[in-house]
Amino acid sequence: MAIPTLIIADDLTGAADCAASFVVHAADCVLWLSQPEAQAHPTRTATDGVDVVVVDTDSRRLHPAVAAKTMLATLSQYGQGRAVFKKMDSTLRGHWATEVAALQPQLGLALIAPAFPAMGRLVRGGHVWVHGVALAETDTWQLEHADCDARPQAMLQAAGLQAERVALDWFDAQEGQYTDKQARAVQALRTHVRAAQKRGCHALVFDCESDAHLAVLVQAVQGLRDFFWVGSGGLAQALAAQRYALQPNNEVGQPQPPLSTTAEMMGLAPLKTVRQAILTVVGSMSAVAKAQVDSMQRSCGCAVHRITAAQLYAFNVSGAHESVVPEPASMHEHPDWLCAIAQDVRLGVDPVVTIASDDQSDPVQGPQLARRLAQALAGLMPEVAALVLTGGETARAVLQPLGIARLNVLAQVEPGVVLSRGAGAHAPLIITKAGAFGDAQSLSRAYVALRQHLQGAMSVATPADAASIDV
């Protein structure tokens, strides 16, 4: 029997990604969105008997001390009798080191592996590499963290932990098929972890370059006590595979297969609704997200609405969550861009809404702009059959006015792209994706999957289907 697990994430897309890693292996899994009101939290009884409980604390933008306190409260409420996985961002965003420091005295040695090989995020020489570029040299890091050390070990030490790095040399013997050399590597890692525990080490940070490295790491500590996992979606996939006696694909960068290819296999009945529009909201301002929107416009025939920061700042969002879809008679009361989106929703032409760059654009203000965009679109939600949401903060901002406190995670469309349905009789289908994840066609594949389902024959798209998409 698999060990019950608690996954604590600091943003929604990461939480959904980890949940999908377990759902792929038929685990019973529930994803809770933490809410400001205490009564919005489920009781422990509500999660008893659930294999995997995932909680999105939405703490990435909180003050570090508040984020740490939130971690401890989540652990206290859901952690009894469960192995703990602290989800961290593979590019080290958020207060993950402070959060690990808060959890460590309660849980023991932190085993930290940020690598997500399927997404091109590797750890080598103690540094994170993103598609071959050192994280510290990426545009995103330079814009938001230019003066910060980009090494995981240093970040943990700054948070007060005794942290050590485990180099790739420990994994050299395990490449390829299982062999005596690999077994020796597993044993060596196991001995090293035990020794770290005995000498009072707080955290071990592992260099990893492949899914095979992550699989061996998980195997090495099987049966040990007094430790907890810290990692991204790559480690979650390896852990889920090991717990359910399956091995991840060893080829670096190759996505795992989707859960299924038919609605029946996924347990999905065609969505019965008079609503037909799919609304895609891209709050991320990353170059990857921009390329994905451009691809959707070319290949899927979706109407793309690029809303500038100036337009969002000019829009009065006060009471926007109570607004309704602009009707023709009241179009003059709403900005032209919102009326155009509303008309597309009403006509069922599947609008794509994204934040465009202008003189007032500032990547640091991206989360605030995403929230304003979500508030502006809130009145359209009753007319929408399905949502594609890019960026964890965007997803939270869109879902919160809908009163969705729980997501039923249904499938992994591809690594980092997750299909869910909100709890409730009339909740929409939802696809979530981290802003910088995927290739140029990822949003197109997600859209095609939802459109096929609304037409009564859902088929989760795989990267191989890209040949049928004109990009």
Instruction: Give the pLDDT confidence score for residue 434 in this predicted structure.
Output: 84
Do the domain assignments include residue 251? no
d(CA 446, CA 417): 8
Give the residue from 196, 220, 243 where a domain finishes.
243
Do the domain assignments include residue 258? no
Query: Taking the model in full, what pTM does it have?
Result: 0.83
Do the domain assignments include residue 267? no
Give the residue from 218, 243, 268 where a domain finishes.
243
Residues 324, 381, single domain; the answer is yes
Contact 338, 326 (CB under 8 A): yes
Q: Which domain holds residue 295?
A: 277-468
Residues 294, 422, single domain; the answer is yes
CB atoms within 10 A of CB 198: 8
H runs (alpha helix) in 315-470: 336-347, 366-377, 392-399, 442-454
CATH assignment at residue 382: 3.40.980.20
Residues 231, 284, single domain; the answer is no
| Single-letter code of the amino acid located at 180 | D
3-state helix, strand, coil in the chain (%, to 5): 45, 20, 35
Do the domain assignments include residue 250? no
Q: How many domains does the chain have?
A: 2
Instruction: Give the pLDDT confidence score for residue 189 in this predicted structure.
Output: 94
Residues 239, 284, single domain; the answer is no
Residues 213, 340, single domain; the answer is no
At 273, list the tokens.
């609704």
CATH assignment at residue 52: 3.40.50.10840
Q: Where are the beta strands (DSSP E) in 49-126?
A: 52-56, 83-87, 109-113, 121-124
Residues 203, 282, single domain; the answer is no
Contact 373, 307 (CB under 8 A): yes
Query: Residues in the chain, how many?
Result: 471
Give the residue from 195, 223, 243 where a domain finishes.
243
Residues 17, 152, single domain; the answer is yes
Do the domain assignments include residue 260? no
Instruction: Give the pLDDT confidence score for residue 471 in this predicted structure.
Output: 25
Q: Is 468 exposed, middle or buried (0-12, 13-18, 19+ CB in 10 A)?
A: exposed
Instruction: Give the pLDDT confidence score for residue 147 in this predicted structure.
Output: 84
**pLDDT in single tens digits along all 471 residues of the chain:** 578 999 999 999 999 999 999 998 878 888 998 754 444 556 665 677 788 999 999 999 899 999 999 999 999 999 999 999 999 999 999 999 999 999 999 999 999 999 999 999 999 999 999 999 999 999 888 877 878 999 999 999 999 999 999 999 888 754 445 557 778 889 889 999 999 999 999 999 999 999 999 999 999 999 999 999 999 999 999 999 998 865 444 333 333 444 333 333 334 444 444 457 899 999 887 788 889 999 999 998 889 999 998 899 888 766 444 444 555 545 556 889 999 999 999 888 899 999 887 665 666 677 788 888 988 998 888 889 899 999 888 899 898 888 888 898 988 888 888 999 887 666 788 999 987 788 899 999 989 888 887 776 334 433 333 222 232
Do the domain assignments include residue 254? no
Residues 381, 452, single domain; the answer is yes
Residues 384, 292, single domain; the answer is yes
Residues 96, 41, single domain; the answer is yes
Instruction: Give the pLDDT confidence score for residue 66 in this predicted structure.
Output: 96
Contact 307, 353 (CB under 8 A): yes
Collapsed DSSP state (helix, strand, coil) of residue 48: coil
Instruction: Give the pLDDT confidence score for residue 21 in this predicted structure.
Output: 93
Residues 183, 44, single domain; the answer is yes
Do the domain assignments include residue 257? no
Do the domain assignments include residue 256? no
At 424, list the tokens.
């409730």
Residues 109, 208, single domain; the answer is yes
